[in-house]
Amino acid sequence: MAPTIKVGDTIPEATFTYIPYTPELEAKLACGIPTKLNTNSWKGKKIVLFSVPGAFTPTCHANHLPPYIEKYDEFKAKGVDAIAVVAANDAFVLSGWGRFEGVQDKLLMLSDTDAKWSESMGLSVDLSARPGFGTRTARYAMIIDDLVVKYVELEPAPGVTVSGADAVLSKL
């Protein structure tokens, strides 16, 4: 499988669902209210986006998400306006994962419902052989500047290499 979106392409428009961070979420006093985020809000901004097949899954949980949190300040120092993680999980699961990992307001935890946005760019994976998984977002990363792709890499095998925080930082 190869991505159909390439460097120099404009990203397709999408509306994601997510739960914005509030201190009440940390205190476990609320579950949060899902809201929408449209990719058009990224016009004029530099966005680092990475995708995981699933929240709380071993590689995503242990190796993919944590370095983005740890290196948040390095991304900001390179002019990144926002870091987003995309998964086919619902907004509540992604919010819970973010709270568990201590994301707070550093990353946008975006639900790509049914992996439709990722699929439109050739960046989804069929995991229906695993009960309960179905079509998921593949493991990939993008640098988006003013809605234009500056970097896109799909992991060629299990693990985190070209979509990891260090690989993306090296391309900024």
Instruction: Kindly report the backbone phi and psi dihedral angles of residue 91, in degrees, each rounded to the nearest multiple of 5, phi listed first.
Output: -60, -30
Question: Catalytic: 31?
Answer: no
Q: Any residues with CB less than 8 A from the CB of 124 and at least 6 apart, and which?
A: 115, 118, 135, 136, 137, 138
Q: H/E element holding 99?
A: helix 91-101
Catalytic residue of the set 48, 60, 65, 85: 60
43, with CB counted inside 10 A (0-12, 13-18, 19+), is: exposed
For residue 120, give both structure tokens: 């439109």
**Among 31, 45, 145, CA closest to 98:** 31
Q: Which residues are catalytic?
A: 60
